[in-house]
Structure 1
């Protein structure tokens, strides 16, 4: 049984799906910087964020996505909406089709995917955390590829304890969670070289299939540091994760992955000059025509 596809209760993709996609925005596009904030805002579907280290970005949370529709198009339409509302710049002719054409054509010049995170939730007792404890987060486990430059590629934790800690839901809601144990793959620019917008063109099932071999390889490398799932074969709701485990047992070469490599990051400077960018934006949209 494919629990994701066939259970009508799971309109947000639970107990598995995309947890977050973060999109970096070229500072040239920012028209209303006050709309972006340093706070995390964990209870929001979309977070407009600014930090001095990473600049302007948007976090699209799991609650934002309809897993049965094209994920890239959902992100693109939201970005277009920000342009129409005046938060992002756009060509002088602000009709939807003009902005859509512009953002599609120049996506890798204007935006960059910072991270893609996949989550898989389990009932208590089905996913067992390793004995390697974290003194600060006692119900959380990280793979040991963590570096100062980037986060661990695998993380597993008790959602109930974490939700109680952040205190953004009442305890009755927290206690009613059916799948309290969470496993995540966190792909970012330091641990994954396949963050191309083409890779997220499609619904959740398409994107999962695109990244399946990559996820399987990371599970093979790090799972013993994080969790064990002894009853996985008996879990009717974990078909996607079973597929990851199955693929992890085979030595697929990276060349078999249906993934495009991460494009070069756009120029991060606020003052943009045509001679400083890889593509000549003026070919289709003159810089002086942006407002």
Structure 2
């Protein structure tokens, strides 16, 4: 049974700029270029490793004229990515070259972390993890495999009270508490190994009840893994029976099947199946090269392509 983060979905501004930052500056692979299934006049970009494994995926809804978001209680306030510990100097220099706002490397739970922001203000971090340079990696001409990003490390979630959200993580989503540091509680997927991406959630207790504003740079939702429909159904049943929380009906996203709910702290959570994956409608070698539309929009392809911003 696989547990952990499946993907993180973030709101963005200009589509072309988003593509440039995540594929060129950060060196992730564009594994799917599609549309927001609920708003087909907007792109939905998926970035990850070579095949788009669960735990390596960060996705974006880019709106050209989106107003900036503001972080607050009941939101995901940081998305952290895994890099080899030996790559800290490489990435510090690369962020400087790219002109991205960043902080000096610092220690968090014994790991070296570089916090930075993309041009939309998205709060990101690179976390140095020992030994992961041996893991497979998507590399580019500018970012060799030995320093490349290896998927999601963790998300940081800001809530007024960590206990109710922690109960959902441990009782439903397959995590366990492993550490505490001042106002942060760290959870890790119970079946995660050292090479499992997306295995960590940090719950931050808010010192003041300030609410955020969704916009460019805001995390829209965090998706957690369910191996298949049966595992997802079991999680939904536990949410209802033991926590009094109802999810949406299952929604087919072509590459996974999803249900959504608000956890007690107010964050939008998704439970997404690992199957069928991103190679269901194009071969692995060609992932992300063509605009893929769900069946219900295929008849409107010309009209949809006409309103989408031009990108490579």
Superposition TM-score, scaled by structure 1 size: 0.31
Q: Which has the larger radius of gyration?
A: 1
Higher helix proportion, which one? 1
Superposition TM-score, scaled by structure 2 size: 0.30
